[in-house]
């Protein structure tokens, strides 16, 4: 299991252990008794109850999870010894099995930036020449579920005076002012950089096409 996560356990985690559980008469347990206190930052919870030495798990009603509390970011192992009681047999096994949980070290994977689909900025060159295109990086994700920060950039210098509003938020507005008919059909490239709390980042680009609603065409 991964550092800081929860894993659901079932009967096979106890009967198919590595090394294998060595008491074949008890390979189909009715109950499982925990023989070890919580260790190495990993706790077992069954139906809302924290398990320790002597606690019993009824296999039929088992709702068991193992949770790593995240205190140890290095790879580590938690071990729980247990005994089992078979159906219609009053005693628990004398042989102890061992549930071994491997917790992998914390790895920070970079986020996935998504600048969204290409946009069109409409404007009226016979009016104000103003127009907006609305961008969103809300599709960006982080595999470690960290909080993300956003930064939008215009790529290159020939951008017809387009400015960016709220360029450090998930949603950004590209604003055009006093655009004339010559700008019609021009394309502007923008870049979104998404950064997690540990500094890992990813980038994506999006294109804005300027479109004069008057539809001027160059003469032949």
The pLDDT tens digits of the residues spanning 125-141 come to 999 999 999 999 999 99
**Same CATH topology for 6-103 and 119-212?**
yes
Cα gap 192→155, rounded to integer Å: 10
Cα gap 163→132, rounded to integer Å: 10
**Count, residues in the chain:** 220
CA 94 vs CA 12, 48, 77, 89, 153: distances in Å: 19, 28, 24, 13, 68
Domain range 119-212, CATH architecture: Sandwich (2.60)
- Classify 24 as helix, strand or coil: helix
Q: Would you say 29 and 59 are in contact if contact means Cβ atoms under 8 Å apart?
A: yes
Sign of the torsion formed by the C-alpha atoms of 34, 36, 42 and 48: positive
Q: Give the residue extent of every domain in the chain.
A: 6-103, 119-212
| Closest by Cα among 127, 131, 115, 135 to 177 | 131
One of 1.20.1260, 2.60.120, 2.40.128, 2.60.40 is the CATH number of 6-103, namely: 2.60.40
The pLDDT tens digits of the residues spanning 37-84 come to 989 899 999 999 999 999 999 999 999 999 998 888 888 999 999 988
Q: Which residue has the tokens 């295109």?
A: 133
The pLDDT tens digits of the residues spanning 170-220 come to 999 999 999 999 999 999 999 999 999 999 999 999 999 999 999 755 544
């Amino acid at each position: 299991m991964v550092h800081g996560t929860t894993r659901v356990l079932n009967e096979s985690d106890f009967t198919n252990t590595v090394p294998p559980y060595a008491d074949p008469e008890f390979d189909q347990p009715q109950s499982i008794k925990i023989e070890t206190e919580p260790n190495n930052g990993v706790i077992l919870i069954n139906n809302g109850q924290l398990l320790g030495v002597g606690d019993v798990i009824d296999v039929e009603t088992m709702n068991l999870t193992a949770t790593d509390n995240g205190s140890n970011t290095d790879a580590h192992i938690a071990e729980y010894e247990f005994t089992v009681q078979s159906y219609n047999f009053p005693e628990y096994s004398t042989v102890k099995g061992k549930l071994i949980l491997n917790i992998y070290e914390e790895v920070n994977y970079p986020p996935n930036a998504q600048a969204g689909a290409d946009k069109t900025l409409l404007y009226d060159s016979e009016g104000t020449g103003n127009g907006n295109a609305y961008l969103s990086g809300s599709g960006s994700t982080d595999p470690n579920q960290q909080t993300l920060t956003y930064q939008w950039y215009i790529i290159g210098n020939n951008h017809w005076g387009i400015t960016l509003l709220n360029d450090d938020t998930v949603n950004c507005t590209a604003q055009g002012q006093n655009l004339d008919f010559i700008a019609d059909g021009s394309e502007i490239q923008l870049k979104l950089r998404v950064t997690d709390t540990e500094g890992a980042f990813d980038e994506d680009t999006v294109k804005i096409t300027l479109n004069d609603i008057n539809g001027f065409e160059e003469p032949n």
